[in-house]
């Protein structure tokens, strides 16, 4: 039975709206402060090859901010609140800047960076990209830009043109959170993404979930038809990893392999060399 939220008493509804508004204001203040004081960083998580799980295909750079106590706050705690604001665009710029800097510093690194389709046309973002590519021409072929399925479907024509332009520079593209319910298939074949990242909700417990096995198998078939690699996120145990391998998923990502870290292994190597 569907609950009719219009029957919630006015006072209760107003109190809920006030609580949500206060929470969002607090999150915006935290992000604003972090940006102002440059307390924004990337955490890195490996994406491994399904047929050789000890081999890293690439890393994903995940945005993090520090709160006023110095605690590292993951994107899931703030990104939805800032996504439609100027702060969301600024975070995209910082993530790109830091990602390009890491690629320049580590010549054999391949890295994906998240961005919103809303940042397409944001002048500061494009300046950041052009500056990074001009300083190190090898960056483009090692950079993957991840755009969420939901974000891409907001302005599909603009995303398609954007991808066509940047692909000419050697940049690859991934559609993130695929299967979360937003893609119009008529646009899908026009996007021409290189990587399809399956929404993590399908991977959790998949070894015991016949329905999700069928759905992931269908996504793998779609990706293969369009010459795309697949990545399953949120892989948390060996049984799920093996099930995803059997379904034909190309790469795996999740806590079973490694948690995101702000001190990736290549920095340890750099420290050893300079010690």
Q: Please check whether residue 56 lies inside any domain of the structure.
A: yes
Per-residue pLDDT averaged across 111-137, rounded?
95
Q: What is the pLDDT of residue 4?
A: 44
Which tens digit of pLDDT belongs to each residue from 161-215? 999 999 999 999 999 999 876 666 777 778 889 999 999 999 999 999 999 999 9
Q: What is the pLDDT of residue 270?
A: 60
Pick from 2-6, 99-103, 112-116: least confident: 2-6
* Residue span of the structural domain in which 212 resides: 10-274
Residue 149 has pLDDT above 50, yes or no: yes
Which tens digit of pLDDT belongs to each residue from 254-274? 999 999 999 999 987 665 555
What is the rounded distance in angstroms from the CA atom of residue 36 to the CA atom of residue 34?
6
Q: Please check whether residue 177 lies inside any domain of the structure.
A: yes
Q: Please check whether residue 4 lies inside any domain of the structure.
A: no
Q: Please check whether residue 93 lies inside any domain of the structure.
A: yes
CB 200 within 8 A of CB 233: yes
How many domains would you assign to the chain?
A: 1
**Average pLDDT value over all residues in the chain:** 89
Band (2; pLDDT cuts 50, 70, 90): very low
Per-residue pLDDT averaged across 235-258, rounded?
98
Q: Please check whether residue 1 lies inside any domain of the structure.
A: no
Which tens digit of pLDDT belongs to each residue from 62-98? 999 999 899 999 988 988 888 889 999 999 999 999 9
Band (25; pLDDT cuts 50, 70, 90): confident
Tokens found for residue 73: 């706050």
Q: Please check whether residue 179 lies inside any domain of the structure.
A: yes
Residue 101 has pLDDT above 60, yes or no: yes
Q: Please check whether residue 160 lies inside any domain of the structure.
A: yes
pTM of the entire predicted model: 0.88
CATH number of the domain that 165 lies in? 3.20.20.450
Q: What is the pLDDT of residue 191?
A: 87
Q: Please check whether residue 3 lies inside any domain of the structure.
A: no
């Amino acid at each position: 039975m569907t609950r009719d939220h219009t029957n919630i008493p006015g006072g209760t509804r107003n109190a809920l709206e006030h609580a949500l508004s206060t929470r969002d204001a607090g999150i915006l203040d935290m992000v604003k402060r972090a940006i102002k004081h440059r307390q924004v960083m990337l955490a890195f998580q490996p994406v491994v090859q399904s047929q050789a799980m000890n081999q890293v295909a690439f890393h994903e750079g995940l945005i993090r901010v520090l709160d006023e106590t110095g605690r590292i706050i993951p994107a899931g705690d703030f990104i939805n609140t800032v996504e439609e604001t100027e702060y969301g665009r600024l975070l995209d710029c910082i993530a790109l800047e830091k990602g390009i800097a890491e690629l320049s510093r580590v010549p054999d690194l391949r890295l994906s960076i998240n961005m919103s389709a809303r940042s397409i046309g944001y002048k500061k973002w494009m300046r950041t990209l052009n500056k990074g590519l001009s300083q190190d021409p090898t960056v483009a072929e090692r950079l993957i830009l991840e755009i969420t399925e939901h974000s891409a479907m907001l302005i599909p024509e603009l995303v398609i043109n954007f991808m066509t332009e940047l692909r000419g520079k050697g940049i690859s593209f991934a559609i993130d959170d695929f299967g979360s319910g937003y893609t119009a298939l008529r646009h899908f074949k026009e996007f021409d993404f290189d990587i399809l990242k399956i929404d993590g909700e399908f991977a959790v417990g998949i070894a015991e979930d016949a329905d999700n096995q069928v759905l992931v198998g269908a996504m793998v078939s779609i990706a293969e038809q369009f010459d795309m690699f697949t990545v399953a996120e949120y892989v948390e145990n060996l049984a799920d990893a093996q099930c995803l391998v059997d379904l034909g998923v190309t790469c795996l990502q999740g806590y079973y392999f490694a948690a995101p870290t702000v001190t990736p292994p290549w920095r340890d190597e750099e420290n050893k060399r300079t010690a």
